Chains A and B, each alone.
Chain A
């Protein structure tokens, strides 16, 4: 009848029932046991460990992020198998580097960990993708690229996700991006009206490119002139 066995996670697998955290102190909670294990395993790549409101934050070297996350995912004593979120934080202070943040969960051990890598401003914002470890990183990394312009090396399809491909105003969640957008309202309106709606249908998707030569002569001419259909 059933196809697979039920995977028991923390609460149902162990005897101890987790309880709601109460009276969490600002910076005095004990760190997650994975922090010490990480410091043993990757001594130099772990820059700093902080505990804020009971959540362990690990600042790691940007170059070895992927290696560290892969170890956390694969190692039998850690088993961080669930990637909750990939995002970035830019601070109001222009001197502070941009941080890329991964929120990891270990379902078997019921642990939560926040990994941070700092990317100094003024450099090319690039970091390794964790797409081959977690497939959930696909859209999360694309959104992060879309909103912050951080390039995830190794992501197979790093395109804009929420904004459109021809969006020219930059990366909306950066602090130098004004709340109303970079362009004036009239310029935004002008661009919107000048948009070719067909441009959102990429040639690759619709495979018109292959069949272009076979289209009727008048249609080819109209497409060449950039005419929109339905007019």
Chain B
């Protein structure tokens, strides 16, 4: 095993004029474990071997919500980590059993709230499998645009908050500026920014307004410049490299066994992406690469997510070019609401409107598990129907819940300050973990 070298730029802070590190350790030892500083013999002998317990969170800004970690420290090295979750538990799955399928879509917004429109798409896909619906071509492309935009939004929040956690402030502002542009696009489309509820079973809540595609093309043109800027500031920055390389390493076998998914799994060198392996929405027809890391540390997770941003722009460009004309919703009055003008003028449409709203569409008896590649990983919706308008069971497979379960394994042996970096690299959203 060789030591990993990353060429850092001399001009960045953290290096003196000769290129020697100032305070920040540039090289961690090869095993991925931080070097625990042995106390010099004779100094404070009564403190030797004494462990300290500290309580990180649930109200700590670097825990990205309400995560509580009980850490047992030997000096500054973490010996044991016990995570506690559940502070945001609201019983989404229970509420889902009392709601019609289209009503549940509003709950999926609130669960992984950085990726709300992506959750809407995922839920609608699951429900359509349960109903046996084939959606229209235009709807498929619109949903691809929606999922990739929300992937970019989610990754930008991750990038910004990760920078803040580690101590870089400027990329946070750049990332949030661009995220705001996407929010404006989403707002023009569905009328809401965060809680989008953009999909319906069998289609979308609304088609894109005229001229919307120009805004998307404009974003596609300019966004890579921002990525280049952030790349120039972070990727070869001495402090950034020093704070991230060699931390929280998961080997490929471990990562699979611990059930990690998404960028966490790919950073560990497992080439698995739901969009490629179990494709949905015709993702196999888009030309994009799946970035894969080879070291499984925090730095690789950063690289993988960063490259995913560029790939998402590629997918968006292709989707914008191929968007076909035609209807967005399927033509089935038992499932899709009639246009408002017809509902108020034609008797038959009014009856359909009434039936769809009051009784709700009914799927046949059965069950479906549809997984999509959310920005955090494999997000699955498992629905069981007994033939009524409300599901018997609505289960969310939350990717960041399963990813977070591996945090004791990742932080043990590292320094306390590295816990923050490792925790940030998981990209958790507590709304999704606690549900």
Residues of A within 8 A of B270 (CB): 6-7, 9, 107
Interface residues of A in 138-158 (CB under 8 A from B): 138-140, 143, 147
Residues of B within 8 A of A9 (CB): 270-272, 277
Interface residues of B in 350-386 (CB under 8 A from A): 364, 366-369, 371, 378, 380, 382, 384, 386
Q: Are A140 and B402 in contact (CB under 8 A)?
A: yes
Q: Are B2 and A52 in contact (CB under 8 A)?
A: no
A110-B256 contact in complex given A18-B284, A92-B392, A161-B85, C-beta closer than 8 Å: no
A134-B257 contact in complex given A11-B277, A162-B89, C-beta closer than 8 Å: yes
Q: Are B294 and A85 in contact (CB under 8 A)?
A: no
Residues of B within 8 A of A92 (CB): 386, 392
Q: Are A163 and B89 in contact (CB under 8 A)?
A: yes
Across the two chains, which residue of chain A brings its CB closest to B401?
A: A139
A85-B382 contact in complex given A4-B296, A8-B271, A163-B86, C-beta closer than 8 Å: yes
Residues of A within 8 A of B262 (CB): none
Q: Are A136 and B86 in contact (CB under 8 A)?
A: no
Residues of B within 8 A of A52 (CB): 366-368
Of A22-30, A58-66, A184-192, A223-231, the one contacting chain B is A22-30
Across the two chains, which residue of chain A brings its CB closest to B390?
A: A92
A-B contact count (CB 8 A): 177
A101-B382 contact in complex given A52-B368, A134-B259, C-beta closer than 8 Å: yes
Contact with B along A83-126 (1 / 0, CB 8 A): 11101011111000000010100010010101000000000000
Give the docked Cα–Cα distance between A89 and B96 (Å). Answer: 13
Binding site for A on B (CB under 8 A): 1-2, 4-5, 51, 53, 55, 70, 82, 84-86, 89, 91, 93-95, 98, 129-130, 132, 134, 249, 251-252, 254, 256-260, 268-273, 276-284, 290, 292, 294-296, 364, 366-369, 371, 378, 380, 382, 384, 386, 392-393, 395, 397, 401-402, 404-406, 434-435
Q: Which of A17, A53, A200 contacts B130 (CB 8 A)?
A: A53
Q: Are A26 and B276 in contact (CB under 8 A)?
A: no
Residues of A within 8 A of B384 (CB): 89, 91
Across the two chains, which residue of chain B brings its CB closest to A142?
A: B405
Instruction: Supply 25 A–B pairs (Cβ within 8 Å), ascending by A.
Output: A1-B4, A2-B294, A3-B249, A3-B295, A4-B269, A4-B296, A5-B294, A18-B284, A19-B284, A20-B281, A24-B132, A26-B364, A27-B366, A53-B130, A81-B256, A89-B384, A92-B386, A93-B386, A103-B397, A147-B93, A162-B85, A163-B86, A173-B93, A179-B95, A206-B53
Q: Are A18 and B395 in contact (CB under 8 A)?
A: no
Q: Output the residue of B280, B296, B393 with the most chain A CB within 10 A.
A: B393
Q: Are A139 and B276 in contact (CB under 8 A)?
A: no
Residues of A within 8 A of B130 (CB): 53
Residues of B within 8 A of A57 (CB): 367
For residue A31, CB closer than 8 A to chain B, the reply is no
A135-B295 contact in complex given A52-B366, A53-B366, C-beta closer than 8 Å: no
Q: Which of A87, A134, A207 contacts B53 (CB 8 A)?
A: A207
Across the two chains, which residue of chain B brings its CB closest to A57?
A: B367
Residues of A within 8 A of B283 (CB): 20
Residues of B within 8 A of A26 (CB): 132, 364, 366
Q: Which of B277, B369, B393 contacts A110 (CB 8 A)?
A: B277
Residues of A within 8 A of B277 (CB): 9-11, 18, 107, 110
A4-B294 contact in complex given A82-B259, A139-B402, A173-B94, C-beta closer than 8 Å: yes
Give the docked Cα–Cα distance between A145 and B357 (Å). Answer: 36
Q: Are B271 and A6 in contact (CB under 8 A)?
A: yes
Give the docked Cα–Cα distance between A114 and B2 (Å). Answer: 42
Q: Are B386 and A18 in contact (CB under 8 A)?
A: no
Q: Are A84 and B401 in contact (CB under 8 A)?
A: no
Q: Are A1 and B284 in contact (CB under 8 A)?
A: no
Residues of B within 8 A of A81 (CB): 256-257
For residue A128, CB closer than 8 A to chain B, the reply is no
Give the docked Cα–Cα distance between A177 and B284 (Å). Answer: 44
Q: Output the residue of B93, B271, B284, B406 with the most chain A CB within 10 A.
A: B271
Residues of A within 8 A of B91 (CB): 172
